[in-house]
């Protein structure tokens, strides 16, 4: 079924909550804003102190998936070398693959690392990728992170072959669990109704449930045999995903309280 044509329903005692089920695809007009916001929140949550960019030389006709895998593999090897040079301290990072206007993959990385020498990084990239041109910039404050977010993470969706759009190490995101779950696009429903939410609400109303809408994409309902009892408000269903950032303004507003350690 198309995005939004199914409904999540979660029963909580006499209450139930329902929310539109989304496909969560990066190419879906309804879901892409939420996916982008999740990426931006994770990128900021890692409190990075460096930007790194690795770029492959242009090779006409080269397979983008193969090139993307080369880049990601080379970066993992480089991280191991940086870690050894830094006394074994692990490099925590979030990486995103993108393409240049000519279609050549390059890798943008936000990372936490005590040391990255640009000359040494260039030598490693030349050895592993035959691509000595690298970019390293120290992040001194939140404005630098906001600039990265506005420039790279708020672009229209791109994908390099079948490679992942972005990934991160387990220890990168420093946000508390509650804050992470607020932006994570995960669902734990007890049931999925293969019908639009308006149709599901109509079906429950026909059974005598009292329906209370929480916006156009979610509602609460209470069983008819509890309708006359004092009732506590139910747990809210997952809110609608907020709108995507304006690349120049809203990203900075989102990061106004961010502090780099």
Q: Domain ranges in the chain?
A: 1-26+177-261, 47-172
Give the C-alpha distances (Å, rounded to integers) separating 226 from 9, 58, 137, 219: 18, 67, 61, 17
One-character DSSP codes across 100-146: -TTS-EEEEEEEE-S---HHHHHHHHHHHHS---EEEEE--SHHHHH
Half-sphere exposure of 106 (CA within 13 A, CB side): 19
Give the C-alpha distances (Å, rounded to integers) separating 19 from 4, 8, 101, 181: 9, 5, 39, 17
Q: What is the pLDDT of residue 64?
A: 87
Q: What is the pLDDT of residue 240?
A: 42
Q: What is the pLDDT of residue 243?
A: 35
Q: What is the pLDDT of residue 145?
A: 76
Rounded CA separation 109/151 (Å): 13
Could you tell me if 50 and 139 are in contact, meaning their C-beta atoms sit under 8 angstroms apart? yes
Q: What is the pLDDT of residue 237?
A: 46
Evaluate whether the domain defined by 47-172 bears CATH number 3.30.70. Answer: yes
Q: What is the pLDDT of residue 229?
A: 53
Q: What is the pLDDT of residue 148?
A: 75
DSSP SS3 for 94: strand
Enter the pTM of the model: 0.69
Residue 161: both structure tokens together:
């072959």
Q: What is the pLDDT of residue 260?
A: 39
Q: What is the pLDDT of residue 34?
A: 78
Please name which of 24, 47, 56 lies closest in space to residue 165, comparing C-alpha atoms: 24
Using the Cα atoms of residue 82, residue 83, residue 85 and residue 86 in order, give the sign of their dihedral.
positive
DSSP SS3 for 15: strand
Q: In this predicted model, what pLDDT tens digit does every residue of 94-121 receive, in sequence order?
A: 998 888 777 788 899 999 988 888 999 9
Residue 5: both structure tokens together:
């044509």
> Which residues of the chain, if any, have pLDDT below 70?
1-2, 146, 150, 152-158, 181-190, 227-261
């Amino acid at each position: 079924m198309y995005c939004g044509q199914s409904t999540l329903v979660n029963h909580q005692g006499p209450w139930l909550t329902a929310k539109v089920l989304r496909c969560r695809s990066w190419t879906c007009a309804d879901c892409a804003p939420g996916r982008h916001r999740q990426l931006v929140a994770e990128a900021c949550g890692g409190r990075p102190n460096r930007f790194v960019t690795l770029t492959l030389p242009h090779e006409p006709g080269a397979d983008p998936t193969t090139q993307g895998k080369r880049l990601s593999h080379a970066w993992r090897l480089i991280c191991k070398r940086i870690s050894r040079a830094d006394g074994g301290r692990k490099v925590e990072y979030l990486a995103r693959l993108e393409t240049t206007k000519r279609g050549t993959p390059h890798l943008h990385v936000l990372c936490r690392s005590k040391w990255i020498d640009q000359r040494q990084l260039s030598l490693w990239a030349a050895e592993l990728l035959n691509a000595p041109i690298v970019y390293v910039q120290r992040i001194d404050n939140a404005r630098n992170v906001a600039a990265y977010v506005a420039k790279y993470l708020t672009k229209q969706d791109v994908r390099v072959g079948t490679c992942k759009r972005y990934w991160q190490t387990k220890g990168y995101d420093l946000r508390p669990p509650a804050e992470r779950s607020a932006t994570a696009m995960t669902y734990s429903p007890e049931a999925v109704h293969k019908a639009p939410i308006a149709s599901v609400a109509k079906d429950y109303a026909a059974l005598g449930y009292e329906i209370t809408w929480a916006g156009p994409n979610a509602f609460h309902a209470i069983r008819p045999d509890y309708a006359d009892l004092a009732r506590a408000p139910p747990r809210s269903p997952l809110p609608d995903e907020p709108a995507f950032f304006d690349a120049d303004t809203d990203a900075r507003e989102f990061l106004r309280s961010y502090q780099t350690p």
